[in-house]
Structure 1
Amino acid sequence: MSDVIEVLVVDDHPLFRQGVVHSLGLDPEFRVVGETASGEEALAMAQSLLPHAVLLDISMPGWNGIQTAEKIAMACPATAIVMLTMSEDKDKLLAALKAGARGYVLKGVSARELTEVLRAAVDGEVYVSPSIAAEMLVSLTQRKAPDPLQELTDRERKILSLIGGGKTNREIGDALFLSEKTIKHYVTNILQKLQVRSRVEAALLASRHEAGGAGGAGGAD
């Protein structure tokens, strides 16, 4: 981008905010057009100044950074929002991106890196600090759940198979020589273990996994 990039800096810590303003002022490609400690003021200034980018802290009194980002993104869709924060919380990262931020950068980043992120955001790219991005990828891969059917006992698998065959609780009870009330209890356990809400969902889940076979522990009657 050949034109000077105009930036609004929003942070409730005056010393840090002044440091950012000073750093950006040393780069001839950037011009800080405003600074504030408040999300409410940030929205008004963004609407008035229409900067190319807003550097926004997450933790502020009044409107926090995510609330402010959402309001600025709606009011000034052409303005690129970059979160500059101490928070490595993955939930806050996702909330910020959902609110409309194009960048999520940790405080402590070098002035050169910050200007590169701002340029990228203004050009429409999305940037997340590598340390958080890597941590999020690891957590997503580790969070991959095992086959929920492996949590079922042999008897629960049998009951699930009969559910898939369209049998009612009474019919299943007759087939297994158990009371309808006992079958109802088993069905409740099955739904909880599979994390589904209905017999139909449980049967569909079972049919999708059927090709993989049913291993697992012995039954607890």
Structure 2
Amino acid sequence: MNAPESKTAAADKHTVLVVDDHPLFRRGVRELLSLDDTISVVGEAGTRDEAVLLARQLEPELIVLDLNMRGSSGVEILTTLKSEDPSMRIVILTVSDSGDDLLACIRAGADGYFLKDMEPERFLENVHEALEGRLIVDTAMVRYLTDMIREKAQPEAPNPLTEREEEVLSYIAQGLTNKMIGRKLQISDGTVKGHVKHLLKKLGFNSRVEAAVWAAQREEQKAKRQM
């Protein structure tokens, strides 16, 4: 575990915590992120316990988390952190292009799924989009998520959502966080959270990413019917 950077030093930058059990790879990610003067890597962790401890201490804006770690899985760490703070933004950075791994992470609350073979420039772009509250899935993996959601999504009625839930869903599809949605609709974060919980239950989903992809597919189908 590397010594964390002070909160004061990172006060004017976006804060990121890097979690990976390979020191060489962690250092590479840190150095890449350090090339961006708007980002500060406030800490590095190589184990589950280090990750949980630093996440609590540093409260980073974003955690970049490896999926396959010795002694613990990224999904386990993700589940632990999300159970403590659902608003914590966590993206998975992995070599796995398995559709099963993707869905497991999304269901556990991941805010993004990046593959380690992406270009450095694209990685930085994805990190910025994640920091802005958007839901990011590597383009090579979107088709898996789309297929799985198409097979699973079976709303109990043609339009089971309330008008407010439809509004919230549209903003989720745009990648907005609960706080951002609350500002748009002039309601509290807690109220938004309640709407999200209800619409996910109605649509049979476990995560916002699943709902976002489903909503995008629905809009695409509507557009085709109107042509």
**TM-score over 0.5 for the alignment?**
yes
**Larger gyration radius, structure 1 or structure 2:** 1
Q: 3-state DSSP class of the match of 1:131? A: coil
Indicate conservation of the 8 Å contact 2:103/2:145, yes or no.
Answer: no
After superposition, what is the alpha-carbon deviation per residue over 1:15-48, rounded to whole angstroms, capped at 9, x for unaligned? 1111001100111011000001112210110000
Indicate conservation of the 8 Å contact 2:64/2:91, yes or no.
Answer: yes
- Pair 1:98 & 2:107 matched: yes
1:118 aligns to what?
127
After superposition, what is the alpha-carbon deviation per residue over 1:122-174, rounded to whole angstroms, capped at 9, x for unaligned? 2221111111112443577699xxxxxxxxxxxxxxxxxxxxxxxxxxxxxxx
1:37 aligns to what?
46
1:10 aligns to what?
19
Deviation at 1:96, TM superposition (A): 0.7
Name the amino acid aligned to 1:13: H
1:66 aligns to what?
75
- Pair 1:132 & 2:137 matched: no
**Equivalents in 2 of 1:86, 1:134: separation in Å?**
17
Residue 122 and residue 74 in structure 1: after superposition, are their counterparts in 2 closer, same or farther (change >3 A)? farther
Unaligned runs of 5+ in 1: 144-221
Name the amino acid aligned to 1:131: A
**Equivalents in 1 of 2:131, 2:114: separation in Å?**
15
Deviation at 1:111, TM superposition (A): 2.4
**Equivalents in 1 of 2:149, 2:55: separation in Å?**
35
Indicate conservation of the 8 Å contact 1:56/1:81, yes or no.
Answer: yes
Identify which of 79, 85, 91 aligns with 1:76: 85
Alignment of 1:58-207 (within 5 A): 58-137=67-146
Unaligned runs of 5+ in 2: 1-11, 153-227
- Pair 1:48 & 2:44 matched: no
**Equivalents in 2 of 1:72, 1:142: separation in Å?**
29
Q: Percent identity?
A: 37
| TM-score, reference length from structure 1 | 0.59
Name the amino acid aligned to 2:44: E
**Equivalents in 1 of 2:138, 2:32: separation in Å?**
19
Deviates most, 43-52 or 70-79:
70-79
CA root-mean-square deviation:
2.3
Q: 3-state DSSP class of the match of 1:17? A: helix
Q: 3-state DSSP class of the match of 2:140? A: helix
Indicate conservation of the 8 Å contact 1:25/1:32, yes or no.
Answer: yes
The count of residues paired between Structure 1 and Structure 2 equals 143
